[in-house]
A and B are shown apart, each in its own frame.
Chain A
């Protein structure tokens, strides 16, 4: 499971082993499947960039609403609100959401239309541990805006 932790390459071999061991303990603690590599902010950012189509991303316009503390990680309410008039020539085309600490970074992609009148969508997600959730909104002019929110997870929701 050290294979995907490329960002640790600059560290010594022992550090890598130690972090891998700690990771395994953390996984066992949250009831996640041992041996499964977790998403990191780096892999989450890469997944988000891919979902959003690779355009440059700018912070702002996107509000991620999540509880401060999620007692049950297996169902966490989330609302994404994007500042957009939602008119046929200026609307949000898509909203992509990723997790920075789940086994799979991708959570969900919404494809919107100007008929919605308001760029606000809500759903419920699973979160394995305390982490940041990041959302990207792809506008009709091709610009991409992002927003993030940290959520503390008491009991993880990605297994058992």
Chain B
């Protein structure tokens, strides 16, 4: 989890335009069902929550289960209505929180 999450947000958008946002985080997403070489279960450690806010208002949230692939990737859309800042938050089972933020200017 040392790597910074990668987030793609268009820097500029026209008012009313629907823009795509993509995010990629590196994380093992350990399922909790696997065992190590000694046969001991490997404890679960997944990012369980991903949330996106725009100017402080939540626009998207995802609750994840171990069936989400390692290095979680998300793509979604949003309607550009005003300039502002997107805040992205990933929280994992070990309590680690990753964040990223991106500005978007609406013309």
Contacts and interface: CB of A to CB of B under 8 A. Distances in A.
A81 to B, nearest CB: 10
Interface in B38-72: 54, 57-72
Interface residues of A, number: 36
Interface string B18-42: 1000000000000101110000000
A158 B31 contact: yes
A124 B58 contact: no
B69 A116 contact: no
A27 B57 CA distance: 44
Given A115-B54, A117-B18, A159-B33, A108 B76 contact: no
Q: Which of B65, B66, B74, B77 has the most CB of A within 10 A?
A: B65
Given A33-B33, A74-B70, A126-B68, A108 B63 contact: yes
Contacts, number: 106
B73 A116 contact: no
A66 to B, nearest CB: 13
Interface in A76-111: 76, 79, 86, 99, 102-104, 106-111
Contacts of A102: 67
B60 A126 contact: no
Contact of A99 (B67, B71, B78): B67
A113 B60 contact: yes
B14 interface: no
A125 B73 CA distance: 9
B83 to A, nearest CB: 14
B67 A125 contact: yes
B11 interface: no
Interface of B: 18, 31, 33-35, 54, 57-79, 81
Interface of A: 32-33, 36, 74-76, 79, 86, 99, 102-104, 106-113, 115-118, 120-127, 157-160
Please name the 3 residue pairs, one residue from A and one from B, whose CB atoms are nearest each other, closest first.
Answer: A117-B79, A122-B75, A124-B69
